Amino acid sequence: MVILKTARELAAMRNAGRISQRALREAGKAVEPGVSTYEIDRIVREYIEKQGATPSFLGYGGFPASACISVNNVVIHGIPSKKQILKQGDIVSIDVGALLEGYHGDNAWTFACGDVSKEAQALMDATREALFEGIKNAVAGARVGDIGSAVQQYAEARSYSVVRDFVGHGVGAKLHEDPSVPNYGTPGHGVRLMPGMAIAIEPMINQGTHKVRVLDDKWTTVTADGKLSAHFEHTIAITSNGPVILTLAD
């Protein structure tokens, strides 16, 4: 069931989203060669808790950390570790959520660790732009398929593939709500977008095949062919005046 938010609830989500975005920004500053993913997770947790909020992911479904940190061929749900030390040329996707006064903000970004290859940078650029293509289509009266189609067309036109096993979602008092928001689809199909909806649009775009596999830890999801993946996400509100990004720092 899709839950429409009141103006008050969307304002609360904006506050949560602001904290989530600022935590993500602090995490991105820490992405440097020689830094462990565990240290970045510590930075995220400390920042969120200092704001009086709670990390959305910590303990969610048993997840053991405050941020999902996914390096290179890890698509999503990478578990931070003291043993995983970032190297020059890595691309690092960080997914952060914050819960404040009963509402979540959820966002992700892929950061370059030092200088990265032209191929890696192109993938990150395309994934980021695919996110904003999706957001542009998140207007009242459109359908979820319009968002997914926009993301898919942008990515596939650049010879990338769109992950199908994991999708975006509604956000609110729960971290994951209806509707599902795939990064692929057919224009004019799917749930109709209405003012008051809040959704996370999160393209996960692969350099090679769209196929993925989940490792034995039941979380870490990698590309089936070992090639790179990038991930960008914003939580947005559907309004009568167009989409509003709720996960903005300022």
Nearest to 28 by CA among 84, 103, 107: 107
Q: Among all chains, which residue has been given the structure tokens 């095949």? A: 209
Distant-in-sequence, close-in-space partners of 211: CB < 8 Å, separation ≥ 6: 223, 224, 225
What span, in angstroms and rounded, lies between the C-alpha atoms of 62 and 60? Answer: 5
Q: 42, exposed or middle or buried, with CB in 10 Å at 0-12, 13-18, 19+?
A: middle
pLDDT > 70 fraction of the chain, expressed in percent and rounded: 100
pLDDT value at 250 more than 90: no
If you count them, how many residues does the chain have?
250
Q: What pLDDT digit, counting tens, does each position of 96-147 carry?
A: 999 999 999 999 999 999 999 999 999 999 999 999 999 999 999 999 999 9
Cβ–Cβ < 8 Å for 127, 230: yes
What span, in angstroms and rounded, lies between the C-alpha atoms of 2 and 156? Answer: 29
DSSP string, 149-162: HHHHHHHHTTT-EE
Quote the pTM value: 0.97
Average the pLDDT over 158-167 and give the result. 98
Q: What pLDDT digit, counting tens, does each position of 35-73 carry?
A: 999 999 999 999 999 999 999 999 999 999 999 999 999
* Backbone phi, psi, residue 88, to 5°: -55, 130
Q: What pLDDT digit, counting tens, does each position of 185-212 carry?
A: 999 999 999 999 999 999 999 999 999 9
Cβ–Cβ < 8 Å for 67, 44: yes
List the helix and strand counts (H, then E) for the chain. Answer: 4, 15
End-to-end CA distance of the chain: 31
What span, in angstroms and rounded, lies between the C-alpha atoms of 20 and 99? Answer: 8
Would you state the CATH architecture of domain 7-245? Alpha-Beta Complex (3.90)
Q: What pLDDT digit, counting tens, does each position of 10-36 carry?
A: 999 999 999 999 999 999 999 999 999
DSSP class of 68: E
CA-based max dimension of the chain: 48
Cβ–Cβ < 8 Å for 114, 32: yes
- CB-hemisphere CA count at 13 Å for 14? 13
Q: For position 159, what pLDDT does the model report?
A: 98
Listed by start position, the domains of the chain span 7-245
pLDDT band at 249 (very low <50, low <70, confident <90, very high): confident
Radius of gyration of the chain (CA): 17
Cis preceding linkage at 179, omega within 30 = yes
Average the pLDDT over 156-169 and give the result. 98
